[in-house]
Amino acid sequence: MTARLPLALAAAATLAVPCAAHAAQRPNIVLMFPDNLGWGEVGVYGSVRGVPTPNIDRIAKEGIRLDNFNVEFSCTVSRAALLTGRYAIRSAATQPSGITQWEITIAELLRDAGYATALFGKWHLGGAKWIEGRSPVDQGFDEWYGIPMTSNEAQTTTSPGFDPSKTETPYIWEQRKGGPATKVKVFDLDSRRTVDREAAHKGIDFMERSTRAGQPFFLFYPITQIHFPTLAHPDFAGRTGAGDIGDAMADVDHNVGLILGSLEKLGVEKDTMVLWCTDNGAEGRRPWRGSPGPWRGFYNSVLEGGIRTPCVIRWPGRIPAGRISNEIVHEMDLFPTLAAAAGVTNLPTDRAIDGIDVLPFLEGRRERSGRESALFFSGAQVRAVKWNEWKLHYAFMPEPRVSEPPLMRLFNLRSDPREETDIKDVNPWALAVFDRIVAEYTASLERFPNVPANAKDPYRPAAAARQSREPGGVASGS
């Protein structure tokens, strides 16, 4: 929003720029996305537990470390924003029904551009009836393996009084395009420990098959760690001396190393863009409470500890090595950025796209990311807004679902990174700036209304029927 255009118009202007410079080079894309993992757990971000993370650190060393990477405040909404390039409130992902098939994911864009696509790990975007048309295969992935919901379901079968006739048993599932989703095994405390390793090996097999076929691939590896119950693979349980979280971090880094090693073995390391970023801030539940590093707060809050997460990106020969940046980047920006890297230009024009293409910034061709601000929601409410180094809380929450007066608070994140000293009274100009940013979002709703809560498939916007995607035209989903 550097040019101060309304959000929807600014996004459309950004996405209208052709990506001809990249069209001839379609990199493989590997996106690793651990769960509820804060700054303080990663070596290159100053690991508080002293658990080495050499493989994650290697991505930063060979690429860029983003110190102001922002996400939505909880699991489902974060995944929706990442995959669609839109604030989750736009897709109604704040509701338990997940996202409709009308949404267009980055997997759909890449698959239509000739990529093989796969998801191995945690989905959590299908709602309670995800299997009825809302699995990953329905949203652009050729194949998937993992859990449809979330990691704490592993506790179900050991909960006191569990009765399978009354409570549905959680399973690990798998599916390929054109086929049904099938149950693999019960998702319990034992399989919770091994699901990420299994997903990593399946990802490696997918990359090997795609490479042999000469097809570019998009591997989405949404890791289930370190979401509670934080229980590491047996190879790492009790190994670090830093508790369950430390063991889980060693496990995560090991699996990242498996993926990186496979890319090297296949000889496609230089042809692959690798991203490692986390969906939310630190896990907040005891005894598995994570570390937000220098920030305050945990996931399920819009304090920096909940929405500012680690992100490292590598693309040899394209992204200069060893860079560190405090430029604002949002997970929504990965949608147009990955599309640009793949030479995809026919992005959706029948909906608001909030992400912006930050590829020129990542490659060092542009000094600034292009993003000056971001909104942070809780449900349908705008809870906070970031603008450059400033942040205004419209409804301050020191803990999830806990509020305290004064609700409206202003912080300068450079001088007060822990958001402790409200300075709105000595900066009376600020409210008008933040209200204008919110007004831009609100104005965009007139042209592109949000998907209604709990919308059913097939969903069509009231304003216009969905059109088929044509080169350079309006996009449609699968």
- Which residue numbers are catalytic? 75, 124
75, 219, 337, 313 alpha-carbon torsion, rounded to 10° = 80
**Strand spans (E) along 251-333:** 272-277, 308-314, 323-325, 329-330
Whole-angstrom Cα distance, residue 36 to residue 472?
A: 38
Whole-angstrom Cα distance, residue 64 to residue 325?
A: 8
The single residue listed with the structure tokens 């680690």 is 310
3-state class (DSSP) for residue 25: coil
Whole-angstrom Cα distance, residue 148 to residue 171?
A: 8
Taking Cα atoms as reference points, which of 35, 91, 20 lies closest to residue 354? 91
**Strand spans (E) along 17-98:** 28-32, 64-70
Measured in degrees and rounded to the nearest 5, phi and psi for residue 245 equal: -65, -45
Beta bridge partners, 393, equal 384, 409
Q: Look up residue 130 and give its DSSP letter.
A: T
* CA separation, residue 183 to residues 98, 147, 173 (Å): 20, 10, 5
Q: Please, are residues 58 and 318 in contact by the beta-carbon 8 Å criterion? A: no
Taking Cα atoms as reference points, which of 338, 345, 343, 347 lies closest to residue 319? 338
Whole-angstrom Cα distance, residue 146 to residue 135?
A: 11
